[in-house]
Amino acid sequence: MSKPLNVGLIGYGFMARAHSNAYRTVNNFFDVPYRPVLRTVCGLVDAEAKAFAERWGYQSHTTDWKKVVEDKDVNLVDICVPNNLHAQIAIAAAEAGKAILCEKPLALNATQGQEMVAAVEKAGVPNLISFNYRRVPALTLAKQLIDEGRLGRIFHYRANFLQDWTISSEVPQGGMSTWRLDVKAAGSGVVGDLLAHCIDTALWHNGPITAVCGMTETFIKQRKHAETGKVEPVGIDDACTFFCRFGNGSLGNFESTRYARGHKALYTLEINGEKASIRWDLHDLHRLEWFDHRDESKLRGWRSIHITDVGEHPYMSHWWVPGLQIGYAETFVHQIADYLEAMDKGQPCSPTFREGLATQKVCDAVLQSAREGRWVEIPD
């Protein structure tokens, strides 16, 4: 019998839906030791928080996040609000002894992230940052293949995350749906929002990044602010490209933009090793492309592996039958399943806040490098 785990969700946007769906689904597919109970949801506008609670089955709603953190019956605080609120909520939740799930990126910057790490580690509470792409079965398989040494020495790690939704100068900054364009709420633009995903996966797959050299651009310099109605300077990076060196001697090449016309959410990565290469694409997330130089030369070429083998492929034994694929929503189900298992065993669940801080340090270094026009080293 699974034990109840009362969830207090803060936020009711897109990520709050992804997490709520995972809480409601996880016990149907995974035999995990806990059963999430949707206790309360918190959001800015009372009527919207109420509507969210009714739709998703939360027992109550509030507009005051402190009530969620102080609620003695809440076991897990889930933070799905703009980045500038992560630190204060997470620190208060840690002090109240709650387990925490925090949306990415960890914080506005590494200084703030460090305070969050200190708070959860002092309190000894379970903590997880939601870099959901780690739980795409194809990318989990990629990690296994790398760890088994099947690629041999790694030479290159390449990743892109491309979108096109901010090309119009009419898109405002700030407010509930466009806070990602407001530097005060987001901390940065594509670096924290999109490259943070690529960096997290890269650190996991390929180990620490030691130095970066980046450039950023803000193509639209002023936008109307959705809250003040005034035209204000834009403080975020619209696009960023950076090179890096990894501790294992390989070279990295990363690009992200919200100005790649035609691309809505195209996260791709490629890893080139001495013996084999891997390629993956979010639009075909259930496939992993694999090239193995050891194959017989007359048959050698890129294979496209359909990641639906219920016997061998990560997470797939929990879903359907061979050949039937899963998608984006299920990555959040995997995330919560792993978290509940780890919590029960008293073990950390990756990526912890400390691992989120490592990504944050790379993000900060990329932004610093772009500002100063030079390579920036990343301390251990």
Nearer to ligand SOE, 163 or 360 (CB): 163
Applying CB under 6 A, which of residues 193, 200, 330, 338 lies at the interface with ligand SOE?
193
CB of 190 to ligand SOE, least distance (A): 9
Interface map 231-270 toward ligand SOE (x if CB under 6 A): ----------------------------------x-----
157-186 mask for ligand SOE (x: CB under 6 A)?
------x-----------------------
C-alpha atoms less than 13 angstroms from C-alpha of 372 in its C-beta half-sphere: 12
Instruction: Select 77 or 195, whichever has its Cβ closest to ligand SOE.
Output: 195
> What is the distance between the alpha carbons of residues 337 and 356, in angstroms, rounded to a whole number?
19
Rank residues 205 and 258 by Cβ distance to ligand SOE and give the closer one.
Answer: 258
Q: Shortest Cβ distance from residue 213 to ligand SOE (Å)?
A: 24
Task: Give 192 or 273: the residue with its C-beta nearer to ligand SOE.
Answer: 192
How far apart are alpha carbons 256 and 241 in whole angstroms?
A: 6
Which one, 127 or 163, has the nearer CB to ligand SOE? 163
Here's the x/- map for ligand SOE, 265-304, by CB under 6 A: it reads as x---------------------------------------
Instruction: Name which of 62 and 163 has its Cβ closer to ligand SOE.
Output: 163
Nearer to ligand SOE, 266 or 305 (CB): 266
Q: Which is nearer to ligand SOE, 12 or 291 (CB)?
A: 12
Closest distance between ligand SOE and the C-beta of residue 169, in Å?
18
Q: What residues contact residue 297 under an 8 Å CB cut-off, 6+ apart? A: none
Least Å from the CB of residue 263 to ligand SOE:
11
CB of 68 to ligand SOE, least distance (A): 22
The site map against ligand SOE for 112-151 (x = CB under 6 A) is: ----------------------------------------
Q: Please, what is the minimum distance in Å from the beta carbon of residue 163 to ligand SOE? A: 6
Interface positions, 58-77, toward ligand SOE (CB under 6 A): none
**Cβ proximity to ligand SOE, 265 vs 324, nearer residue:** 265
Q: How many CB atoms lie within 10 A of CB 183?
A: 20
Query: Going by C-beta distance under 8 Å and a sequence separation of 6 or more, which residues neighbour residue 49?
Result: 12, 41, 42, 43, 61, 62, 63
Q: How far is the CB of 298 from ligand SOE (least distance, A)?
A: 41
Q: How far is the CB of 310 from ligand SOE (least distance, A)?
A: 26
Instruction: List residues near ligand SOE by CB under 6 A.
Output: 163, 193, 197, 265
